[in-house]
Chains A and B, each alone.
Chain A
Amino acid sequence: MPEETIVHGVEWTVKELFVYPNEFIYWSIQIVMYPYMTGLVAGAFVLSSLYHVFGQKQLKEIAQFSLVFSLALLPVAALPLLLHLQQPTRAMGPLLTPHFTSAIAAFGIVFTAYALIVLSEIWFVYRKYFVEQVYALKDQPGLATAMRRTVYRILTIGAYDIDADAIRVDKKAATVLAAIGIPVACFLHGYAGFIFGSVKANALWMSPLMPVIFIMSAVVSGIALCMLTYIVIREWQAFRSRRKGGVIEASQIKGAETHVIDIATRYLIGFLVAAISLELLDLIFRGYTAMKSWDILRSVMYGKDFMNIFVLQYTLGNLVPFVLLLLPGRTLKRTVLALLLVLFGVFMMRWNVVIGGQAFSLSFSGYMHYEIPIIPHSVETFKEGLFGALTVITVPFVLFWIINKFVPSLQREVTGD
């Protein structure tokens, strides 16, 4: 096929019955990843704020980790958009000439504001550590150490005051930022829901409940990912220290703390119930009011996408983990399985919204099927295919690993009390 006839979307869209000629699945896997990753960011931050603002002391350990992890996730919320744009070099456009009547225009501003809040909060939480490192690494030999020290010097932004007063102020500032951060995190993700909910042309998306549904499922997925990563890292550390013996400090030998998991699970279930209730309300309302679009929506939801929506999302992704988490005698392995299913369920929810919303034609007389490109044969099929999505999933873990080299979010008792 000559280059100039390859239209964006034509390679993964299969049309059935009557679909307008220009209709394709324009928003594909990366737009599924976008709200998914944004949701994880928002959720991770909310989890960390439960400790910093609402004083959930039991969550302290996971809260510090969540905060840093939400920083690692942050650039990845923008990455799918960058991969999706047809003109990635113009990605700064929404910051240069924001057209505020567009839900996407707010992204640059909300995202930047949110990033600054997260960074500042981390700075306040770890500033003492940075300063201590600058002093500790002083007069030590080696180029690597010198460079490391320079990084810490930059990270202090010149604030070396770590007397008790200064640290108290730091703590207060972190709490204030966490408090501001919660509404901003909800806004960041709520408006991701608004991007879809406000598209009046799309019968599946248009719903005022969409932003709220997105926030709820975001918190669910964020908490689940933080818990999961926390458990895996803790168990790995425990395993490694058991094997090698004595390499890691004694305080780290024990694995994931049960009480931390317990309380986080409680929050997870609460938000999960809220998310499912809202989604079911939306579904029931559509069926009951049965507007013009209901015929085609029904045929998609109960027919073509039945597997995706009712089996994979609601049953496997919501109901099963719900039961797994509630049944008495919960073990760590069962928790991990439930968390994986929750993450999968939220992913399927994003998939069913984004891809499901394009599964039917605007003409209400035809269908479109999305065939995700597996083996890439061009930049486009890489970006908007399986490997593009896998890249997006991998990046936060790599970033977290790098950030953790400088910000010890996994060490216990780094900031005192």
Chain B
Amino acid sequence: MKWHVLRPLWVAIGLIGAILVARVFLVPDDFGVHGRNFTYGYHRLGNIQEWKDFPVKYQGREACIECHDENVEALNSSTHTAVECENCHGPAIGHPDDVELLAIDTTRDLCLRCHAFLEYPNSDRAELISIVDRRHRRRKECIACHDPHDPTESTR
């Protein structure tokens, strides 16, 4: 038998070995089956914590009430009670450290998201108090007349 025939095999084994050694250095230690099974749970364990540490932007009404209790109370007793503060005021991350960060959306477009009249039968949308955009004081911002914290009250 001529043993030279095995030479390509040694090269191949060397290559496979190189890949296996590279794996040791390149694959994170916490990579493996962590969930239900190999099909759905093969991953880097540390990534779960990385996602948990993703910064929260919207802080919720509980955060606002700490300083702005008057506004929150007014809102709570109005028909807009279901509207989150941050829907109009923007996500409160970084506030109040940087007050500039919170840009209040006072545009007509924001109000129209709910209050533009869409004549849809069987849809709650048609039940909302609404306007036909082009027929209702087109050039004015809504808040010029309506108080968003208590929309039944006129600011005029």
Contact = CB atoms under 8 A, between A and B. Distances in A.
Direct contact between A and B judged by beta carbons closer than 8 A: yes
A116 B4 contact: no
Contact of B4 (A101, A112, A161): A161
B121 interface: no
Contacts of A97: 23, 27, 31, 42
B7 A169 contact: no
A248 interface: no
A156 to B, nearest CB: 9
Interface string A144-166: 00000000000001110100011
A159 B5 CA distance: 9
Given A96-B27, A101-B39, A123 B8 contact: yes
A99 B11 CA distance: 26
B12 A120 contact: yes
B5 A96 contact: no
A399 interface: no
B35 to A, nearest CB: 12
Contacts of B48: none
A57 B40 CA distance: 51
B5 A170 contact: yes
B22 A96 contact: yes
A173 interface: yes
B8 A119 contact: yes
Interface in B6-51: 7-9, 11-12, 15, 19, 22-23, 26-27, 31, 38-39, 42
B135 interface: no
Contact of B7 (A96, A101, A157, A165): A157
A165 B2 contact: yes
Interface residues of A, number: 22
A100 B33 CA distance: 13
Contact of A101 (B2, B27, B38): B38
B7 A158 contact: yes
B4 A159 contact: yes
A169 B2 CA distance: 7
Nearest to B32: A97
Contacts of B7: 157-159
Interface in A167-183: 169-170, 173
Contacts of A414: none
A166 B4 contact: yes
B8 A157 contact: yes
A173 B38 CA distance: 38
A95 interface: yes
A99 B39 CA distance: 8
Interface in A26-48: none
A123 B5 CA distance: 10
A159 B2 CA distance: 10
A120 B7 CA distance: 9
B14 to A, nearest CB: 11
A95 B39 contact: no
Contact of A169 (B5, B8, B19, B22): B5
8 contacts: A92-B22, A97-B23, A97-B31, A99-B42, A116-B15, A120-B9, A124-B8, A158-B7
